[in-house]
């Protein structure tokens, strides 16, 4: 499935600048709307190493009210967390009514990282598909809006980004030896991702595959998806962006599964459990 996605899609600078001002204002409006209506929102980001998850989250959170969201960078479970049911630590991070919880990686590590790196037996990660589906169905039934993004780039593009990062002493630290190992295992990761989509796609928690080769295209698609999803939930009139946009209504429908209608950050540090504002 992922191999058939057109990764050449891009957006020029003029169109991006023209659209993002209106989209940023609308993003703030739908965030306030979800707060006023008491709708909890979960937004999670998965994707390839170097696909731009961190950059996308930074761009997403820039125009919105930092009091209304928390950002969770997910790491491997700690010793005491391993002694509890594996989803326990994610239950603790679910948003309150009206709040957004943004996950930089998520519970999908169980069927992605832990699967490919063989950290758990096959029986456990296969069982996790049902655990995830039940978890998402439960919180959706309780009123939580779930938006799931997967940022997709090719193996060639991933290598290009790794090489660019390692060529600069100021960014070389961002590429660890294990990242290169993941790169060599690209096909294994591809298989894990595609099976995850097949097993966990649902009407209450659909996946949005984001073509992440061009950063401007990536950012606009993420904004559009969140805005359209919340407009539909809130019953708002849709934002109309001029036809200079890089997306057609048909593109957004096929990409998001949604039928198109007619500054600062709050970060929860998993290492110390503290909430910080102003950075990730």
Per-residue model confidence (pLDDT) at position 275: 36
101 phi, psi to nearest 5 deg: -115, 120
Confidence (pLDDT) at 220: 97
Length of the chain: 280
**Cα separation of 99 and 95, whole Å?**
5
Note the pLDDT of residue 32.
98
pLDDT attached to residue 103:
98
Q: Which domain holds residue 22?
A: 2-277
Under a CB-based contact definition with an 8 Å cutoff, are residues 132 and 111 in contact?
yes
State residue 244's pLDDT score.
52
pLDDT higher than threshold 80 for residue 254: no
Q: What is the DSSP letter of 49?
A: T
pLDDT-derived band at 43, boundaries 50, 70, 90: very high
**pLDDT above 70 as % of the chain:** 86
Look at residue 257 and tell me whether its pLDDT is greater than 50: no
Whether the CB-CB separation of 215 and 7 falls below 8 Å is answered with no
Q: What is the pLDDT of residues 129-138, one digit of tens each?
A: 999 999 999 9
Q: How confident is the model at residue 1 (pLDDT cuts 50, 70, 90)?
A: confident
Residue 11 confidence (pLDDT) = 95
For residues 157-166, give the mean pLDDT.
97
Average pLDDT over residues 112-140: 97
Q: Mean per-residue pLDDT for 88-109? A: 98
Asked if residue 41 lies in contact with residue 230, where contact means CB atoms within 8 angstroms, the answer is yes
Q: Which of 256, 266, 232 is CA-nearest to residue 72?
A: 266
Q: How far is CA 129 from the centre of its chain?
A: 18
Residue 4 scores a pLDDT above 60: yes
- The structure tokens listed for 136 are 């998402």
State the chain's mean pLDDT as an integer.
89
Separation of alpha carbons 69 and 267, rounded Å: 9
Q: What is the mean pLDDT of residues 94-112?
A: 98
What mean pLDDT comes out for the span 238-243?
A: 78
> How many folded domains does the chain comprise?
1
The per-residue pLDDT for 272 is 38
Task: Quote the pLDDT of residue 273.
Answer: 38
Q: Give me 124's structure tokens.
A: 């456990």
pLDDT at 27 over 80: yes
pTM of the model as a whole: 0.86
What's 79's domain CATH number?
3.40.50.300
pLDDT higher than 60, residue 243: no
């Amino acid at each position: 499935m992922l191999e058939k996605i057109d990764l050449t899609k891009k957006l020029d600078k003029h169109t991006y600048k023209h659209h993002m001002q209106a989209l940023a204002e609308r993003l703030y409006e739908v965030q306030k709307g979800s707060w006023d209506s008491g709708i909890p929102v979960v937004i999670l980001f998965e994707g390839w190493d170097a696909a731009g998850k961190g950059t996308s989250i930074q761009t997403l959170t820039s125009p919105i009210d930092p009091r209304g969201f928390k950002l969770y960078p997910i790491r491997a479970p700690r010793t005491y967390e391993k002694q509890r049911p594996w989803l326990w630590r994610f239950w603790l991070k679910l948003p309150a009514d009206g709040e957004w919880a943004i996950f930089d990686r998520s519970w999908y590590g169980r069927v992605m990282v832990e699967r490919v790196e063989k950290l758990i037996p096959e029986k456990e990660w296969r069982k996790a598909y049902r655990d995830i589906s039940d978890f998402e169905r439960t919180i959706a039934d309780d009123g939580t809006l779930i938006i799931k993004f997967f940022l997709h780039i090719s193996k060639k593009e991933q290598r290009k980004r790794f090489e660019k990062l390692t060529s600069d002493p100021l960014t070389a630290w961002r590429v660890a030896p294990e990242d290169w190992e993941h790169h060599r295992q690209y096909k294994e990761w591809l298989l894990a991702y595609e099976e995850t989509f097949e097993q966990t796609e649902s009407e209450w928690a659909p996946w949005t595959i984001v073509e992440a080769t061009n950063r401007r295209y990536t950012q606009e698609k993420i904004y559009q998806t969140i805005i359209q999803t919340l407009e539909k939930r809130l019953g708002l009139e849709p934002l109309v962006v001029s036809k200079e946009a890089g997306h057609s209504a048909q593109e957004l429908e096929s990409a998001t599964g949604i039928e198109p209608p007619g500054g600062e950050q709050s970060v929860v540090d998993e290492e110390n459990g503290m909430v910080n504002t102003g950075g990730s």
